[in-house]
Amino acid sequence: MTAMQQKGAEGFLHRFEGLRERLPGARLPWAAALRDNAAEAFRASGLPTRRLEAWRYTDLRAVSEAGFDEPLTALDEASGLPPMHGEARAVFVDGRSRADLSRLDGVGFAAQSLAANLREAEGRLGALCRPDEQPLAALNTMLFEDGLVVTVPAGMSGGVLDMLSLASPTERPSAFHPRHLVRLEAGASLTLIETATGPEGARYLHNPVFEIEVGEGATFIHARLQQEGAQGFQLSTVYARVAAGGTYDNFTLNAGGKLVRNEIHAELAGPKGACHMNGAQLLGPGQHADTTTFLDHAAPDCASRQTYKTVLSGKSRGVFQGKILVRQPAQRTDGYQMNQALFLSPDAEIDSKPQLEIYADDVKCSHGATVGELDAEQLFYMRARGIPESQARAMLVEAFLAEAVEGVSDPIARGALEAAVAGWWDRRLKEAA
């Protein structure tokens, strides 16, 4: 462990010990054994460095140096909240539930604050998470105080649920680590539109962990809009297990933040399950975004699709690492993985590492990566017909991203993602003006 890595880890461990010492009246009086084991793992590993293969392209020295402290929630008003996409909304400020800003009554299924419903949540904590293997999951397990707990009963259509994560406009660097648990029972369905945002000048770390269980024949659409502030860090980890005949459909849009990592671990645990992990990274000057996926085909007759696209402008850097593991029992697997990057600047950089690891005989798997610039002939053609250059470039970028966004089956979620993409490009044009 390097000196800087050790310093960053010690800050988080000091906060953990301070909270634990105030037991039993402290905010961490529950899941003590789970937290202690995670703290031991984090103490041994520290924050990951580029010496680890999984972190080869993403440097967390800025996180180690920031000196993140406990957040002081300062958002008192509901003004300025984005419009709801569905009829229900769960709001978190600095990782803590805000019942006064949420609207969860009458949704027909259980959607509650983790901290307010410990009895239901504690038995589910850690079912999928692996803090001994992922240091950021260990960090979350040490320090989480709240999160969203969702249970959709068998056969129920849960509709659309909004989840909004806000960072408050505090002056000191702060860190929060929410833990979210989602369970869809057999035949259930739900669309979750998750939006994360924060003030432009605030320096904060948002380190969420999701544990998602998709039951037999259930369908979970998970649309993630990452729009953190310009100085914000988001390091998220998603764990999903899909039972027989179930579908997990994830789309992540990285369009904000100074340094972002979106890590997904999905397991197709039952026959005829499906997993779609798609996304887009829209990067401006000084931004770094890393998408890392691990898809475990553990059962036969399952299908998976991954399409990730990155648009890079200015001096930005994108990363895609995707691995598909096909175990020996997973015969008749159908897997596809593609990563494509579009450069809008000669100063940008992309690192792409798609991987296949196959132990079954009867499979159909493919992967690939492409890198390119806007087509000069297409741009000339559009400008020759009176289309301004900025509009022509916008049209070509939107066409590049269309394939990824069109894969989102829920029209409400797809519309939210398309609006976010358009908003990102509008901001880039204003900054260039």
- Segment 252-306, tens digit of pLDDT: 999 999 999 999 999 999 999 999 999 999 999 999 999 999 999 999 999 999 9
What is the per-residue pLDDT for 331?
97
What is the per-residue pLDDT for 121?
79
- 318, 341 in Cβ contact below 8 A? yes
Task: List the beta bridge partners of residue 221.
Answer: 191, 249
Residue with tokens 């005829």: 272
Task: List the beta bridge partners of residue 243.
Answer: none
Taking alpha carbons only, the member of 420, 286, 413, 307 closest to residue 367 is 307
Edge-first strand listing for the sheet containing 247-254: 96-97, 88-93, 157-166, 189-197, 219-227, 247-254, 274-283, 303-312, 333-343, 363-373
Distance CA 343, CA 390 (A): 15
| DSSP-derived pairing of the beta strands 110-113 and 148-152 | antiparallel
What is the per-residue pLDDT for 263?
97
Please, what's the largest Cα pairwise distance for the chain?
A: 72
Taking alpha carbons only, the member of 190, 175, 177, 176 closest to residue 141 is 177
What's the CA angle centered on 121, arms 120 and 123, to 5 degrees? 85
- 167, 198 in Cβ contact below 8 A? yes
Distance CA 388, CA 379 (A): 10
- Contacts with 211 (C-beta within 8 Å, 6 or more apart), sequence order: 124, 125, 126, 127, 128, 129, 179, 180, 181, 182, 239
What is the per-residue pLDDT for 28?
46
Sign of CA dihedral 106, 112, 118, 124: positive
* Domain-wise residue ranges, the chain: 3-76+85-270, 375-433
- 281, 307 in Cβ contact below 8 A? no
What is the per-residue pLDDT for 89?
95
Within 10 Å of residue 377's Cβ, how many Cβ atoms? 8
Query: 172: which 2 tokens?
Result: 């000191």
Residue 49, phi then psi, degrees to nearest 5: -120, 175
pLDDT one digit per residue (tens) for the chain, 433 residues: 555 556 678 888 988 887 776 544 444 456 788 888 999 999 999 999 999 999 999 999 999 888 888 877 666 655 568 788 888 999 999 999 999 899 998 788 989 999 888 777 778 888 899 999 999 999 999 999 899 999 999 999 999 999 999 998 877 899 999 999 999 999 999 999 999 999 988 999 999 999 999 999 999 999 999 999 999 999 999 999 999 999 999 999 999 999 999 999 999 999 999 999 999 999 999 999 999 999 999 999 999 999 999 999 999 999 999 999 999 999 999 999 999 999 998 999 999 999 999 999 999 999 999 999 988 888 888 889 889 888 888 888 888 888 788 878 888 988 888 888 877 766 765 665 4
